Amino acid sequence: MANVVLRPDRWAMVDYDPERLLAIAAEMADAAGLPADREVVVELDDTSPLGRYSLDSMDPVVVSMESGAFEDPKHPRQLSESFTAGVLGRLFFRAADRLSEGFADAPEDADLAPAAGIAWEVYAAGRLARTGQQAQRQRWVYHFRNRHGFSDEADAAFDRLWSADDLTWADIESLSAQALAGTPA
């Protein structure tokens, strides 16, 4: 089981149970295949109700997010277990990718082209769905089409990304490029 650390481990603006959050993070780190000896740090900013999140470091694995990424929209300031698993699962799958040889040439997140970044998120979300977590497939179809166009080529690329388990960074770039090439002028 991954060594997960919360920073901070208590919050003033949200009523999240730190033990439950740690348990979800550990479950998602294991599901994504992060090495058990790799420290995983979850940094939560409870001063913002927004939902931004990022993968900030690989050694240790550091993920940062605003508290809205974990919040139950029907119960403000309360933890949504499914949203938490979704955000952490996608981030941890991408972290596991970065630790593999197939992603050695992937650019830093800040340097990702928007279309390629969404393609990678789709690949992570598809694998998350196969762990039994809610992954919101239609939400990702919408995001993918917004970046890649509404075409048969984009839909085929999405389906390949969503259903794959063993892609490399080159595969993701290629599928993204194929989808973009099918976009009507």
What are 111-152's pLDDT values in tens digits?
A: 999 999 999 999 999 999 999 999 899 999 999 999 999 999
- 117 lies in which domain range? 102-181
Q: Which of 92, 126, 143 is the last residue of a domain?
A: 92
pTM confidence score: 0.95
- Give me the pLDDT at residue 152, please: 93
Which CB contacts under 8 angstroms, 24+ apart, belong to 63-67?
A: 63/88, 63/91, 63/92, 63/95, 67/11, 67/13, 67/14, 67/16
Domain membership of residue 97 (yes or no) is no
- Residue 103 half-sphere exposure, CB side, CA atoms within 13 Å? 19
Query: Do residues 67 and 106 both lie within one domain?
Result: no
Query: Do residues 70 and 126 both lie within one domain?
Result: no
What is the enclosing helix (H) or strand (E) of 76?
strand 75-79
Query: Do residues 68 and 24 both lie within one domain?
Result: yes
* Average pLDDT for 14-43: 96
Residues 48-68 pLDDT 10s? 999 999 999 999 999 999 999
